[in-house]
């Protein structure tokens, strides 16, 4: 038997363990993966084959420093600008941190949103759901972006054969309340929960949902498929409705999903020069492979903790070069493969950091930058967006937005737009048949980017 593991071993309200929910096997009790595919196919129109659009959301957990990365203030006093120098990019007027030279070379393929106002200074779920969370409300109350996209595309009959939503985030984020714990389907239904990744390994990720049980190989699985086909001969002979043909197709698709899914996570299939370009940022390479395989939404953690309450320079000096290599590799790879109009890349975190070093030092050392929701940033690329620009601005010290402010729902509305979804024009129907807004307030995309 092949068991397709769920996100955890907890029991749902119906008493069925998620670990036992998805099982593939001739005699497996309950709902099999093939059954699930049949249920997804039932009643869905198949008359609108779309061009595949996807998004890779990079969760910069902890809150990255806007003023040390994409919104530098080189003319500000040293207690504001810090020790970093800014460098020119291939776009006149846009300067980036000296520790991000690779991104400086491809700034024409990047769009920077400055002066982004976040809801509060807590490690909330806003970047993943578009809705705020607080210490008094530590769990998500709205479905994550990927769950909503999965729901809408299923209703439209937009199916690629791949899981619509794959998450590489931990169930509990590195700061205790963010990350994967926010990626809940809630009222859009459990069918639209993400396929979860266990952890990163040297040659890729261990995917709980696609692990074969002990002693099972893909060859043995194929043998069992052949055996099932021979057993199904009698059933087909007795079938007078033609339904068996469709059921066999769903069973075949279940096996194809397992095989193709495992292949998508196998970076050994990539040329050496591509793997070298990504370096140790394996999760970014796998994200690109997943969207190529037909996944609509991939979320990942870049692997570093941005919540640096110690010496800001020591912390960011260790992180920025790795992040620079990862973003450069992913964006370059996407454009080289002709995916620049189809795959959107979004990188952001919960908030920015205090422009004045040591400000609110009760939360850290006198050499630290601490939580600052009044000004943050979002980095976008691809998706057919208008790149090579920075939209929005902050005041001379990077403390607050100047002019028109942007908020998290504006950024997510822009991503929805790139995916062919207009949150301002409609609602999603929840599992109780009630209409729900995709985003509340500030739901319009950023006009300069579309």
- The three-state secondary structure class of 114 is strand
**Between 252 and 379, residue with greater pLDDT:** 379
In 3D space, the residue among 141, 156, 189 whose CA is nearest the CA of residue 432 turns out to be 189
Which tokens is 395 given?
A: 């005041």
**Which pLDDT does position 213 carry in this prediction?**
53
- Cα 407 to its chain centre, rounded Å, is 19
Indicate the pLDDT class of residue 275, thresholds 50, 70 and 90: very high
**Coil, helix or strand at residue 316:** helix
Q: Say which range, 27-31, 169-173, 304-308, 333-337, has the weakest mean pLDDT.
A: 27-31
pLDDT exceeds cutoff 60 at 418:
yes
Q: How confident is the model at residue 36 (pLDDT cuts 50, 70, 90)?
A: very low
pLDDT tens, residue by residue, 240-249: 444 444 444 4
Which pLDDT belongs to residue 136? 58
Q: Do residues 299 and 178 make contact, with C-beta atoms less than 8 angstroms apart? A: no
Share of the chain above pLDDT 70, in %: 67
pLDDT the model gives residue 44: 39
H helix runs in 174-281, sequence order = 218-238, 243-264, 272-278
pLDDT of residue 140: 66
Mean pLDDT of 82-100: 95
b (16+ CB within 10 A) / e for 104-125: bebbebbbbbbbbbbbebbbbb
Distance of alpha carbon 260 from its chain centroid, rounded?
20
The dihedral through the CA atoms of 72, 373, 121, 328 has a sign that is negative
For the record, the structure tokens of 164 come out as 């619509």
**Distances 12 to 151, 357, 390 between C-alpha atoms, Å:** 20, 47, 45
* DSSP H/E element including 195: strand 195-196
- pLDDT at position 23: 37
- CA 418 to CA 412: how far, in whole Å? 10
Whether the predicted pLDDT of 393 surpasses 80: yes
Residue 393: which residues within 8 A CB-CB, separation 6 or more?
114, 115, 401, 402, 403
Burial of 131 (0-12, 13-18, 19+ CB in 10 A): buried
Q: How far apart are CA 289 and CA 268, in angstroms?
A: 12
* pTM of the predicted structure, to 2 decimals: 0.78
Higher pLDDT, 153 or 227: 153
Q: What pLDDT is recorded for position 427?
A: 80
pLDDT of residue 310: 73
User: Higher-confidence residue: 17 or 78?
Assistant: 78
In order, the DSSP letters of 40-93 are HHTT------PPP-EEEEEE-TT---GGGTTS--TTS-HHHHTTPPEEE-SSTT
List the chain domain ranges: 2-6+53-226+244-449
Reference 178, options 132, 133, 249, 124; nearest CA is: 124
**More confident position, 134 or 408:** 408
Average model confidence (pLDDT) across the chain: 76
Say what the pLDDT of residue 407 is: 93
Strands 195-196 and 165-167: parallel
Q: Mean of the pLDDT values across residues 131-157?
A: 79
> Distance (Å, rounded) from C-alpha 237 to C-alpha 185?
41
Segment 301-358, tens digit of pLDDT: 877 788 877 777 777 888 999 999 999 999 999 999 999 999 999 999 999 888 888 7
Most confident stretch, 40-44, 137-141, 193-197: 193-197
Which is more confidently placed, 251 or 265? 265
Average pLDDT over residues 258-263: 60
The CATH class that applies to domain 2-6+53-226+244-449 reads alpha beta
Distance (Å, whole) CA 70 – CA 387 = 14
Residue 401 sits at φ, ψ, to 5 deg, of -65, 145
Q: What is the dihedral of CA 120, 125, 130, 136, to 10 degrees?
A: -60
Rounded to the nearest angstrom, the gap between the alpha carbon of residue 241 and the centroid of all alpha carbons in its chain is 42
Q: Give the residue from 20, 3, 34 showing the smallest Cα distance to 228.
A: 34
């Amino acid at each position: 038997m092949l068991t397709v593991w769920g996100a955890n071993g907890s029991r749902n309200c119906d008493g069925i363990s998620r670990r036992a929910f998805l099982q593939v096997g001739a005699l497996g009790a309950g709902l099999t993966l093939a059954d699930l595919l049949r249920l997804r196919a039932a009643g869905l129109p198949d008359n609108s084959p779309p061009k595949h659009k996807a998004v890779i959301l990079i969760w910069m957990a902890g809150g990255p420093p806007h003023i040390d990365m994409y919104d530098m203030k080189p003319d500000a006093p040293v207690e504001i600008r810090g020790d970093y120098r800014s460098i020119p990019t291939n776009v006149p007027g846009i300067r980036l941190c000296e520790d991000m030279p690779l991104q400086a070379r491809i700034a024409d393929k990047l769009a920077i949103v400055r002066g982004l106002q976040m809801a509060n200074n807590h490690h909330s779920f806003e970047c993943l759901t578009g809705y705020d969370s607080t210490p008094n409300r530590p769990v998500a109350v709205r479905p994550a972006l990927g769950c909503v996209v999965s729901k809408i595309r299923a209703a439209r009959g937009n199916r690629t054969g791949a899981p619509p939503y794959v998450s590489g985030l931990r169930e509990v984020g590195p700061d205790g309340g963010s990350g994967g714990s926010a990626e809940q389907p809630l009222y859009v239904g459990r069918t639209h929960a993400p396929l979860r990744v266990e952890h990163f390994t040297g040659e890729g990720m261990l995917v709980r949902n696609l692990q074969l049980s002990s002693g099972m190989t893909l060859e043995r699985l194929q043998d069992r498929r052949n055996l099932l086909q021979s057993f199904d001969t009698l059933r087909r002979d007795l079938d007078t409705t033609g339904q068996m043909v469709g059921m066999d197709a769903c069973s075949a698709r279940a096996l194809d999903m397992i095989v193709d899914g495992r292949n998508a996570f196998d970076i050994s299939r990539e040329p050496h020069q591509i793997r070298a370009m990504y370096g140790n940022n394996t999760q970014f390479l796998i994200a690109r492979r997943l969207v190529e395989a037909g996944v609509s939404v991939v979320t990942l953690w870049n692997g570093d903790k941005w919540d640096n309450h110690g010496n800001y320079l020591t912390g960011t000096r260790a992180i920025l070069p790795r992040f620079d290599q990862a973003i450069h590799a992913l964006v370059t790879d996407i454009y080289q493969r002709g995916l620049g109009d189809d795959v959107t890349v979004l990188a952001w975190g919960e908030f920015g950091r205090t422009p004045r070093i040591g400000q609110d030092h009760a939360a850290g050392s006198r050499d630290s930058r601490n939580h600052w929701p009044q000004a943050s940033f979002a980095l976008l690329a691809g998706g057919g967006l208008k790149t090579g620009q920075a939209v929005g601005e902050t005041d001379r010290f990077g403390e607050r937005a100047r002019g028109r402010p942007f908020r998290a729902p504006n950024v997510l509305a822009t991503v929805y737009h790139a995916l062919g979804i207009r949150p301002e024009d409609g609602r999603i129907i929840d599992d109780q048949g009630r209409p729900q807004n995709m985003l509340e307030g500030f739901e319009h995309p950023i006009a300069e980017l579309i």
